[in-house]
C-alpha cells in the first residue's frame, strides 16, 4: 500500500491536464490530435476570451507547481524509483543526437532558444535549466525547474 503515497500526486495533476485540454478544445475544437497549425499560420483565430482563460490557468498552475514540488520531489518512494535510474551521460547524449531536456539533463548546458536567439526568447529574462546527473530524477528536476 506504500505505492499509493507515491502515485497520489500524479493523479492530482490530472486536474491541470484537463484544464489544458479545455484550452486546446476551445482553440482547436479538439482535446487531442489537433489539426490547428498550418503552413503560414493557424486554422482560425483564438476565440474571444481564450487568452484571459489561458492567463488564469497560468496563475492557477504556478501555485500547483509549488504544491507538487512539495508532494513529489522529496517523496522517498518516488526518489527510490528515479534517482540513479536511466543515466545518460553528456557524451552519450551528444552521440545519440539528444536535444532539449534530454540533453540538458545529461549535463550539457545548451538551449537553442538561448544560443540561436530563437523567436522572441531574447525578450524574456530566463536561465537555461540543466542538470548534471543524467538520470530520471535530473530529467524530472529540469522540467519542474522550467515551470517554477
Q: What is the C-alpha to C-alpha distance for residues 135 and 87, in angstroms, rounded to an integer?
A: 4
Please report which confidence band the pLDDT of residue 2 belongs to, taking 50, 70 and 90 as the band edges: very low
- pLDDT mean across residues, the chain: 88
| Contact (Cβ atoms closer than 8 angstroms) between residue 35 and residue 43 | yes
Confidence of residue 1 (pLDDT cuts 50, 70, 90): very low
List pLDDT tens digits, range 86-109.
999 999 999 999 999 999 999 999
What pTM does this model have? Answer: 0.74
Q: What is the pLDDT of residue 7?
A: 65
Q: Based on the number of CB atoms within 10 Å of its own CB, is 131 exposed (0-12), middle (13-18) or buried (19 or more)?
A: buried
41 DSSP assignment: E
Q: Mean pLDDT across the stretch 3-32?
A: 82
Q: Is the dihedral of CA 7, 13, 107, 100 positive or negative?
A: positive
Amino acid at each position: 500500500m506504500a505505492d499509493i503515497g507515491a502515485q497520489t500526486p500524479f493523479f492530482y495533476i490530472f486536474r491541470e491536464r484537463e484544464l489544458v485540454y479545455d484550452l486546446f478544445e476551445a482553440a482547436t475544437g479538439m482535446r487531442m490530435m489537433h489539426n490547428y497549425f498550418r503552413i503560414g499560420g493557424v486554422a482560425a483565430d483564438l476565440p474571444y476570451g481564450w487568452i484571459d482563460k489561458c492567463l488564469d490557468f497560468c496563475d492557477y498552475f504556478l501555485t500547483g507547481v509549488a504544491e507538487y514540488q512539495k508532494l513529489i520531489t522529496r517523496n522517498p518512494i518516488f526518489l527510490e524509483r528515479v534517482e540513479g535510474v536511466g543515466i545518460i551521460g553528456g557524451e552519450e547524449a551528444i552521440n545519440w543526437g539528444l536535444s532539449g531536456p534530454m540533453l540538458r539533463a545529461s549535463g550539457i548546458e545548451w538551449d537553442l532558444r538561448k544560443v540561436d536567439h530563437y523567436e522572441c526568447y531574447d525578450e524574456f529574462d530566463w536561465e537555461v535549466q540543466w542538470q548534471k546527473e543524467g538520470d530520471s530524477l535530473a530529467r524530472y528536476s529540469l522540467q519542474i525547474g522550467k515551470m517554477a
